[in-house]
Amino acid sequence: MDPVATAFELLWPEARRMNLLDDSLSADLARDGSLNQAMVDRMVCLAQYVKTCGADAILFTCSAFGPAIDEVKRTIGLPTLKPNEAMFSDALDICEQLGGQRSIGLLTTFAPSEAPMREELLAAIQQRKLKVKIEGACATGGMAALNAGDAATHDRLIMDSARTLATCDVLMLGQFSMARAQASVADALQKPVLTSPASAVRQLKAVLSCT
């Protein structure tokens, strides 16, 4: 939760935030290997709970649960953002401005999140009729290191993996927890490096300011 809290404090400090955490969902997904109906139902229950608490919008922060978030969007009736939805839009805006055939680097630290993220990004590329190739990499062990309190190893693994995507036009850090490495990666690669929290907070602010 810290990365998104930091993004709110920097970009929209006036927003009143409520954090709700089910810290077993990602572990259950890693154990089972795929999303199941029970997990979807749990996500919907979490969303319904925050709605009853008075939330005006919902931002999910784990990128491995795209289909479950789609179900929340269909059933809850609040503006709801997937973790990387706004970041994907920002990345495609950059590619569109550059023109021609472009490439986006998708870097994660949680391997199960790459497939749903890639699928979501491909759909956005097709919708906008852009010529964009996706290059993926996983900083294996990064999330485990961060969970164990070893932030230095987490950041080093991200940097090592980011260098394999150095030819991409723009790089996206796929987990909210990776935002801490944004500045160092951008400095090393001299490319635009986007994070989910910053893009999401900017989009939420824009959406709710219009309602």
pLDDT tens digits, one per residue of 155-205: 999 999 999 999 999 999 999 899 999 999 999 999 999 999 999 999 999
pLDDT digits (tens, 9 = 90+) for 38-50: 999 999 999 999 9
With 80 as the cut, is the pLDDT of residue 64 above it? no
Where along the chain do its domains lie? Answer: 2-83+199-209, 85-196
Is the pLDDT assigned to residue 210 strictly greater than 80? no
Q: Which CATH class is domain 85-196?
A: alpha beta
pLDDT greater than 90 at residue 124: yes
Strands 80-81 and 170-173: unpaired
150 pLDDT exceeds 70?
A: yes
* CA distances (Å), origin 44, targets 51, 58, 96, 120: 11, 11, 34, 20
Give the whole-angstrom CA distance, residue 189 versus residue 165. Answer: 9
Is residue 108 a contact partner of residue 175, using CB atoms and an 8 Å limit?
yes
Cα distance between residue 154 and residue 181, in whole Å = 9
Q: What does the alpha-carbon distance between residue 183 and residue 77 come to, in Å, rounded to a whole number? A: 36
**pLDDT at 167 (0 to 100):** 96
**Contact in structure between 171 and 194 (CB atoms under 8 Å):** yes
How much is the pLDDT for 211? 60
Question: Are 2-83+199-209 and 85-196 in the same CATH fold?
Answer: yes
Quick one: fold of 2-83+199-209? Rossmann fold (3.40.50)
Instruction: Give the side-chain half-sphere CA count within 13 A for 102.
Output: 18
Asked if 162 and 108 touch (Cβ cutoff 8 Å), the reply is no
Distance CA 67, CA 163 (A): 31
Mean pLDDT taken over the chain: 93
- DSSP, collapsed to helix, strand or coil, labels residue 101 as coil
Give residue-wise pLDDT tens across range 69-78. Answer: 999 999 999 9
